[in-house]
Structure 1
Amino acid sequence: MLDSHASLLKLFLPEIVIENFDIMGVIQDPETFHFQLEERNNTPEEWGGIKVQSKGFFPEIQVQDFPIRGHKVFYHIKRRRWIDTESKKVMYRDWTLVKKGTRMTGEFAAFLKQISQYSPE
């Protein structure tokens, strides 16, 4: 289902979401859209040559976005975590770095700021 609607979803979701997350599902009820997102297993460029291995996800967070066609919009986000294979340190993408230097609305920059406030522990 999602593959057949991917181009339509690109009209509603910010480009940075489309580039960095897989859309695992969309649930619609009469008043709400729920987008289930999983961060892709792409090592962040800012880590340079650090060798990491994906080790699943942190607990899901929920972020509300601006309404679409009168429906409330919620993103259910699963952020990926990696392990540095040498130091065994848990690593995760710093979304505040992603937003710097990108072209986006102030509202979406605030959305990324909200994601970054959920520091995985």
Structure 2
Amino acid sequence: MSELSTQLLELILPEGILDYFIITDFKQEKSGQELYTKHLTIYLEEKQEIPQEYSHYKHKASGFMNPKEIRDCPIRRNLVTLNVKRRRWDIEIDGKQKKVSRDWESVAKGTRLDPEYASFLKAIGGL
């Protein structure tokens, strides 16, 4: 994906989303609908950064959860879907292995969120 494509996609994503996710791909297809003639899918992958609350434990990345598809606002006759892959981590606490992921409620707590970003967090299961 070109840098120009990435920069353009950043303009239409909810503000703040790229603090935690990277754009890995996008595709545009015919939608088969009359009003919205195309369907844009933007693929996002959570950055490989351990959540701060687990950073002091022994940890390793443990792959991804199943992707979640979130319908976003249509843009210029395009239906828009965000395909979001969240990371999992294996951590060791007191000699026991535990699988964890980012706590999206803690990301949102105490911040003034853009309404679109708040909707995004709610859709991925955080609020």
Q: Distance in 2 between matches of 1:19 and 1:10?
A: 11
Q: Distance in 2 between matches of 1:2 and 1:85?
A: 39
Aligned equivalent of 1:7:
7
Larger Rg: 2
Match of 2:39 among 28, 32, 36: 32
TM-score normalised per structure 2? 0.80
2:51 paired with 1:54: no
Q: What is the DSSP-based 3-state SS (H/G/I as helix, E as strand, rest coil) of the residue aligned with 1:107?
A: helix
Aligned equivalent of 1:94:
103
Contact 1:2 1:23 in 2 (8 A): no
Amino acid at match of 2:83: H
* 1:28 positional shift: 0.8
* 1:58 positional shift: 0.9
TM-score normalised per structure 1? 0.83
Match of 2:73 among 46, 66, 70: 66
Aligned equivalent of 1:23:
23
> Runs of 5+ in structure 1 lacking a partner?
none
Match of 1:112 among 96, 108, 121: 121
- Alignment RMSD (CA, Å): 1.9
Select the structure that is richer in helix. 1
Contact 2:41 2:80 in 1 (8 A): yes
Aligned length: 117
Select the structure that is richer in strand. 2
Q: Distance in 1 between matches of 2:79 and 2:21?
A: 20
Q: Distance in 1 between matches of 2:49 and 2:60?
A: 10
* 1:48 positional shift: 4.8
